[in-house]
Chains A and B, each alone.
Chain A
Amino acid sequence: MTDTLDENSPQTNDEQKLELGEQKTYSFKILDFDALDKRKRLVEPKKTQKIFFTMLASSAVFIFLLLITFVLILLINGSRGISFKLIFMKPGPEVDYGIRPAIIGTILLIIGAVGLALPLGLAAAIYLNEYAKGGILVNIINQGINNLAGVPSIVFGIFGYAFFVLALGIGKSLVAAWLTLACMILPTIIRTSQEALKTVPRDFREGSLALGATKWQTIRHVVLPAATPGISTGVILSLGRAAGETAAILFVGVATGIPAFTGFLSRFPAIPFELYSMAVSAPSSTRNIQWAIALILVVLVFGFNLSAILIRNKAEKQRI
């Protein structure tokens, strides 16, 4: 302790001098750095490093364990309630709980929503990236799309309810849910497609144009094929997001206890809403069934994400 104090006192003087006369700079600074370090050095730097690295590593371990615990709880609880009947049957005289309608409902929902958003979003991305010449307007549009991507899903839900359901008079229906979800994932699709288009090297375009292809032919046969992995990653992630979305479809037509498909203009079931309504209102004796539904939903969403990661990895390998 006395050691550190001894080293300390001359150092503070040096610091003061440094503050007073700034012309003595460089050699002082190196000395300053060294002594400053020693002063704080109650423990060796290597030891400090060890302590901090352990702390950092433990927070990484914590997050990893969080995921593992999450998955384990889900698997253990979910496997108790899961059954062939639950997944593949609809509720009827023999089966108390079957989520076949909800699974079909979710599949219909995400295919419709992405089917609507993809052509629009992709076209917008191509236009903004390949045709538009920059400028203030394009910047504003890009910024607007960017911000829309951060808008909470409940805001899309309330918009969909007021606009599609009430103002346009579509009513609470599958179509209204398609439109609402399409609005929600549109910014994501535009953004990811733009990113994908940006990664296509300029040489590709120039090479094609130099061969005499028109701009559209270049886009259609050169740029788009090269950007396809990136675009499909974005689309798959959007599918996953739409599949798990609850807040946005809460008011635009989702319902429980109905057959999967009774027409485009009638209400529909979906897995996340099934889980929500059971969690808040069903008796606790059905808790295992609820865990099983949560498990099915997570497996579905993980499936989408896993395939997106695989596509991305494959594309990255090809590029190298």
Chain B
Amino acid sequence: MSQNQTETIEEPTIESLEEDKSTSEESILEIGKQKISWQKIILMLFAGISVIVVILIFIFILVNGLKVIPEVGFIKFLFGTSWNPEADQYGILHGIIGTVMVVLIAMVVAVPISISCSIYMSEIAPQRIRKILKPSVEMLASIPSIVYGFFGLFILVPAVKFIFGLPTGENALSGGLILAIMVIPTIVSITDDAIRAVPSSFREASLALGATKWQTIRKVVLPAALSGITAAVILAFGRAIGETMAVLMVAGGASQIPKPFFNILVPVDPLTAIIARELGEAAQGDTQFHALFGIAIVLFLITFVVNLTGDLVIKRFTKKFKGA
């Protein structure tokens, strides 16, 4: 290892003597001076392109999507109860309700299980069990959403249909359950990081006062890791909102508001599923096309706010323990 490094360092030094003799004296002062080299310019250019891509995506979605406001009307678009492209009606309330429903079900199911699992994994489990659990969770995270959708469609949907005796198992409950499985790895791994970031001196102090291990976890470790755990839940929430293929295949896709609105056993149509199903049919430039972009803006904004909040919470959390 160390031999390799000395070799690689030697090589450029000779090169630099041949290449730019005039600047070799100055190069020692490089750190302070930040001389502009062609490499820097190229890197800057590439970094610039990356930034432009980011801006482009934002602007392009905004430009296309904002057209829906004059065409449909802001209130009618966001809170309109009827989505029917043939009748020129573009209200996405049913989509918002659908998204909220599946995401809430997913979080209610996934949050307790995931947090318990990560507490076990980081505080209680012996090393060798942790060594099996952690990669398992990572494996679960890597399975493509289309495969989850496939499982949902042919395993979960029939099961839900059978258990509740429904005419169809494609409903908000199935969508929520499959989403729950998908967000478990996100919550587990971020919570695990948060719990492990709590300094061990906290635990030692509590144990030294005579508290049991569980009392230490419950009264010391968890309160200390709370903001990190919150961030885990927030980021998982953002992921669940943006999930497309699984909910497209499993949630049913009915363009109507469930009656009553908390009935989880009826088909729903989350926002992402609306885009995935209808973009192929929409003609460029017509209202439906713009309405789908409007949905994209809504998704973009929700995930933007959610991720920003999550990041800020995590940043505050890491700052808290930097001194400790």
Q: Which chain A positions have C-beta within 8 A of B308?
A: 143, 147
**Does A275 have its Cβ within 8 Å of any Cβ on chain B?**
yes
Interface membership of B46, Cβ < 8 A: yes
B112 — which chain A residues lie within 8 A by C-beta? 59
Give CA–CA (A120, B45) in the complex, Å: 9
Interface string of A189-218 (1 = CB under 8 A from B): 010000000000000000111111111110
A46 CA to B266 CA, complexed, in Å: 46
List the one stretch of A5-13, A88-96, A107-115, A150-158 in contact with chain B: A150-158
Residues of A in contact, count (CB < 8 Å) = 99
A261 at interface (Cβ–Cβ under 8 A)? no
Inter-chain contact B113/A297, CB cutoff 8 Å: no
Report whether B5 and A159 are in contact in the complex, using a CB–CB cutoff of 8 Å.
no
**Residues in chain B near residue A219, CB distance under 8 A:** 39
Stretch at the interface among B75-83, B149-157, B197-205, B256-264: B149-157
Q: Cα distance A298–B43 when bound, in Å?
A: 36
Once the chains are docked, how many angstroms separate the CA of A259 from the CA of B60?
33
Q: A87 interface residue, CB < 8 Å from B? A: no
| Chain B: minimal CB distance from A211 (Å) | 6
Mostly helix, strand, loop or mixed at chain B's interface? helix
Residues of A within 8 A of B (CB): 37, 45-46, 48-49, 52-53, 55-57, 59-60, 62-64, 66-67, 70, 73-74, 119-121, 123-124, 126-128, 131-133, 141, 143-159, 161-163, 166-167, 183, 186-187, 190, 207-217, 219-222, 225, 237, 240, 243-247, 250-251, 272, 275-276, 279-280, 287, 290, 294, 297-298, 301-302, 304-305, 309, 318
14 A-B pairs (CB sep. < 8 Å): A59-B114, A120-B50, A123-B43, A124-B50, A127-B44, A131-B43, A131-B44, A143-B311, A144-B51, A144-B55, A145-B54, A151-B303, A151-B304, A301-B144
B residues in contact with A216, CB < 8 Å: 37, 39-40
Q: Which chain B residue shows the least CB distance to A156?
A: B57
Whether A144 pairs with B120 at a CB distance below 8 angstroms is no
Which chain B positions have C-beta within 8 A of A221? Answer: 8-9, 11-12
Would you call A152 and B244 a contact (CB within 8 A)?
yes
With beta carbons under 8 angstroms apart, the residue of B57, B124, B145, B239 that contacts A148 is B57
Binding site for A on B (CB under 8 A): 1, 5, 8-9, 11-13, 15-16, 23-24, 27-28, 30-31, 34, 37, 39-40, 42-47, 49-51, 53-57, 60-61, 64, 112-114, 116-117, 119-121, 124-125, 132-133, 135-140, 142-147, 149-151, 153-155, 181, 184, 188, 212-215, 218, 235, 238-239, 241-245, 249, 272, 275-276, 279-280, 284, 292-293, 296, 299-300, 303-304, 306-308, 311
Chain A residues within an 8 Å CB radius of B34: 131, 133
B117 lies within 8 A of A59 (CB): yes
Q: How far is the CA of A62 from the CA of B235 in the complex (A)?
A: 22
| Contacts beyond the supplied A63-B140, A67-B140: 5 A-B pairs with Cβ under 8 Å | A56-B117, A154-B242, A158-B61, A158-B296, A251-B279
Interface centre among B30, B43, B138, B276 (most CB of A within 10 A): B43
Known: A49-B212, A123-B42. Contact between A154 and B61, CB under 8 A? no
B101 to chain A, nearest CB (A): 17
Task: Return the chain B residue nearest A48 by Cβ.
Answer: B214
A206 → chain B, closest Cβ, in Å? 8
Q: What separation, in Å, do the CA atoms of A311 and B101 have in the docked complex?
A: 40
Is the beta-carbon distance between A52 and B214 smaller than 8 angstroms?
yes
Query: When A63-B184, A145-B54, A272-B144 are in contact, do A154 and B244 touch as well, CB less than 8 Å?
Result: yes
CB distance from A166 to the nearest CB of B (A): 5
